[in-house]
Chains A and B, each alone.
Chain A
């Protein structure tokens, strides 16, 4: 087994053992933060499946929101257990994604056009959620109807946060696995070709529309799952925290900060942003609402201009270059 794989396995084992550590009185809070990091990194990885190939979506909040709300509402109104409800939510989200992706993929809606369309999609979903306030609760959000703090496998509610730690860890690892598989697949080469020159790619026989829609569907499905998990964990869904421009840009920012083209980029970026926002919340409390996002926005601009590969991505690039120096040849992976 190669060195990297061994290291990876060791890392996973270490992470699996973390909940057994005694973390003192603040442990509930620490679990909370770590679970958020896992779930949002998962969403970030899902976004970067599209982002790294030039399909920059500024409206992923739509997929997140549909996934979250569908899961919660299916349980609240129809008693469908989230085990099935999440699955149905994913299907709904994918269907929706395909409807939007079809005209975009078939008719070469790329770059700025595409970004604008996704922006519109994201906001409209949020507006829809707010508009249908009778059953979505509007701006106030909707709570998962549960039996209080008791554990219930049926609705994935657990008294002990550590169970959700494993759920989050599993989801995150699953997301990494999917990302890694796509990275190694023909789809990656095809998408990169499409990203460089669609017409040329099509002339070589690459089914451009099909690939684009497949990647979009995959990204949407995973994001929807992330939305469902977040809603289940928090037992609450709110149009501003799980849908709309704000959350869409926050996802994008975290991935860009860490590095869009690296496997662990979204994780690094998400960990940093969540750590930053928690720190700011502790330090400033409710005195300066919006300070975290202000800093994010500023950093996003700065990073895009000066460090487009992100923190982790840049370090990874530099490390690879240093490793390649003895032989004088760069490895082929970007």
Chain B
């Protein structure tokens, strides 16, 4: 059997991983909840932001914190571009076309990344200590990433509840015409939503590049995982996604320690399928 210390470590790491996964899931859900389109290529936007931070640090020698902020900006910009160039033309197309358009984007991003930067794995060297707490080792990098992810989510929450624009974004997803009668432009709200969603991808990218190496197919593992989390939490349900992210992170982390990393994902998937049988609307199914 596995040493309980390793199990405890896996649980803690699972929580830390859950923070970043929750960030990803919230960004995706925000856009879907408001605009009603799933950005299949969302995690690939994260990949691009990771590359961005990587190059700023390794090629241009920027300090990490500055590169991270730039990463958030890159994410927001990408969000705006995707919305204007790809989403706006297909807003009223059937769901098939919408899926294929963002799927095509995924394809495109992964291939362009391969073209430009080859399949080499690249990482940002961060020399932060490893803490020892009660016998288990916790990477300070992971802890930092977790803390910043929580901060970002709190910021998002405040934006959505305290500001006029944020509340209007919640309103436009409930009644588009009514919010127009209040003087808000739905199209502009969609744009802001895309920018915010992109910014969250940027934050996630900055937090991930210090933990994992980036390569063109980074979205391959994290993408389906994020989707499973969103579906499990109920598409469009922010609280559900938050909870589901931590649950899945635990499964992967503990499964990874008990069996193997890849099997951790497979187990997560099996659980996902089983839960789909039991609660198809997601664990926290949105009441109609």
Q: Do chains A and B touch in the complex (CB under 8 A)?
A: yes
A positions within 8 Å CB-CB of B: 51, 54, 56, 58, 99-100, 102-104, 106-113, 115-117, 119-124, 126-128, 130-131, 244-246, 249-250, 252-253, 256, 288-294, 296-301, 304-305, 308
Q: How many residues of B contact A (CB 8 A)?
A: 53
Partner of B105, one of A115, A128, A292, A301: A301
Given contacts A115-B40, A127-B266, A308-B97, contact A249 B231 (CB under 8 A): no
> Chain B nearest CB: distance from A220 CB in Å?
15
Determine if A293 and B99 form an interchain contact, defined as CB atoms under 8 angstroms apart. Answer: no
Determine if B103 and A58 form an interchain contact, defined as CB atoms under 8 angstroms apart. Answer: yes
Scoring B38, B99, B118, B273 by chain A CB atoms within 10 A of each residue's CB, the highest score goes to B99
> Chain B nearest CB: distance from A48 CB in Å?
11
Q: List 8 A-B contacts (CB under 8 A).
A: A111-B96, A120-B225, A120-B269, A123-B221, A131-B266, A290-B115, A297-B107, A299-B104
Determine if A103 and B94 form an interchain contact, defined as CB atoms under 8 angstroms apart. Answer: no
> Chain A nearest CB: distance from B26 CB in Å?
16
Chain B residues near A293: list those with CB within 8 A: 107-108, 110-111, 114
Determine if A123 and B220 form an interchain contact, defined as CB atoms under 8 angstroms apart. Answer: yes
Residue of A nearest to B216 (CB): A290
> Chain B nearest CB: distance from A321 CB in Å?
21
Q: Which 4 residue pairs across A and B have the least CB separation, nearest first?
A: A297-B108, A300-B104, A131-B262, A290-B114
> Chain A nearest CB: distance from B35 CB in Å?
11
Chain A residues near B38: list those with CB within 8 A: 112, 115-116
Chain A residues near B220: list those with CB within 8 A: 123, 126, 244-245
Contacts of B173-210 to chain A: CB distance below 8 A: none
Determine if A294 and B263 form an interchain contact, defined as CB atoms under 8 angstroms apart. Answer: no
Chain A residues near B235: list those with CB within 8 A: 112-113, 116
B positions within 8 Å CB-CB of A: 32, 37-38, 40, 86, 89-90, 93-101, 103-115, 118, 216, 220-221, 223-225, 227-228, 230-231, 235, 260, 262-263, 265-266, 269, 272-273, 276-277, 280-281
Given contacts A120-B269, A308-B93, contact A253 B104 (CB under 8 A): yes
